[in-house]
Amino acid sequence: MKKTKKYNKSKNNYKLIFLVLSVIFFIARSVQMGYSISFKLAHPAATLYLFDYNFYFGTRTFVGSILTLLKDKITYQQIFGLNAFIYIAIIAAFVFLCLYSAKKAMTENNNILFLILIAFIVFPYSLIQYAGWIGSYDLYLCLFAVLSALTALSKRAHWLFPILCIMAIFTHYSFVLCYFPAVLSVHIYCIYSSENKPSRIASSALAFLSSFASTVYCVFFANNTIKMTRSELLSYMGDRLGMPASNERYIDAYYFNDEVADMIITLQTRVFNQGFIKNSVLFFLPIILFFCLLWYNCIIKTKKNQIFPYLCFLGTAAVNIALAFIIPEYPRWLTAATLSQFIIFFALMKKEEACVLNFLNRLNKTDTDIWFVIGVVVTVVSSLTITPYDVFQ
């Protein structure tokens, strides 16, 4: 008995060392990426946040309007500082969401669960990717997604879900594709597992309808409300920033050109290369297939009247994988796909979902640590192999 306790204690000690090293790596890598990539792009990225109700009512109105309320003149350094704060807020929200999983992995000596936590911290298509995107709207979409998942775990806060969805879509309508399916699936799961079903059904239905209406407006009607010509817009942004506006290519493509096919084709040609195939097959697919295997296992193991949420989880993975092959700038979609699955997983762990726990326990029954070792090696190699994606490259 004493030997077993000492053995478990020694295992927890080396897991704690792995965890500390992973956190140190995450902090160092995030600071390095933020300094070398994000700050370099702070000025061109700032124009993305100057669209507000003075310009038009549509995408990014939410963030742009908040900035307008703060002051008439705003520097790109201030916008970068705000987005850096949002990045920290995302980290804090995720920590709160996965705290139960971390505690369980340490106390029960679960190698598989601990490996998932390590991957979440250092995997290049996970949270660390956003350190190179401080300035892009993806930060806000991820934060809204995590907060939406947290509202699903609350008895009363689930009524905030529709509001968060609208705020996210009016930051950028791509939220509907990259994160909304996952967080809606979590809310659907909570409908099945909650005693107060009518209230949760109402809030989820309201979120779906309001998100659909907001997306239709942002995609098809927002640009019809433009009040400025191109030259007036660039002059307006230059005045607010105190220096000439940048990022004209994206402004033209999204707001002034009716046909952006040439730009999309150029982007696809540039990103769909050997690096895309290597990174997707060797590093992204293994982790996403693990989650697919988890949801498939739950589908065949759970009761028939409880299957639908897991079908939704499996569907979100399929949608996210498809987006990476269809839409340019694939690292954004691979990251959203990975984080969407982590959001679902951590939410279910926080709810102590028996099906998920049983699956992890079965994988963890082996006496060897081979899966843990393989996972750590793959995660480290991928972190060192994959070059951080430059949004404005």
Q: What are the pLDDT digits (tens) for 239-263?
A: 888 888 887 877 777 667 655 445 4
From the list 161, 138, 108, 153, the residue with the least C-alpha distance to 363 is 108
Q: What is the per-residue pLDDT for 385?
A: 77
Choose among 120, 169, 164, 119: nearest CA to 144.
Answer: 164
Output the DSSP codes for 188-253. HHHHHH-S-HHHHHHHHHHHHHHHHHHHHHHHHTGGGG--S-HHHHHHHHHHHHTS----HHHHII
Predicted pLDDT at 4: 47
Q: Which pLDDT score is estimated for 75?
A: 86
Q: What is the pTM of this model?
A: 0.89
Question: What pLDDT was estimated at residue 146?
Answer: 97
Distance separating alpha carbons of residues 117 and 110, to the nearest angstrom: 11
How far, in Å, CA of 253 to CA of 260, rounded? 6
Q: What is the pLDDT along the chain (393 residues), one digit of tens a residue?
A: 444 454 455 566 777 888 888 899 999 999 999 998 898 888 888 888 877 766 665 667 788 778 777 777 888 888 899 999 999 999 999 999 999 998 888 888 788 888 899 889 988 888 998 999 998 889 999 999 999 999 999 888 999 999 999 999 999 888 999 999 999 999 999 998 887 888 999 999 999 999 999 999 888 887 677 777 888 888 888 888 888 888 787 777 766 765 544 544 455 555 555 566 767 777 788 888 899 999 999 999 888 778 999 999 999 988 888 887 777 777 888 899 999 999 999 999 999 998 999 898 888 776 556 767 777 777 777 777 777 776 655
Q: What is the pLDDT of residue 160?
A: 95
Closest to 183 (Cα-Cα) out of 169, 170, 197: 169
The position carrying tokens 């990103």 is 271
233 contacts: CB under 8 Å, gap ≥ 6: 55, 245, 251, 255
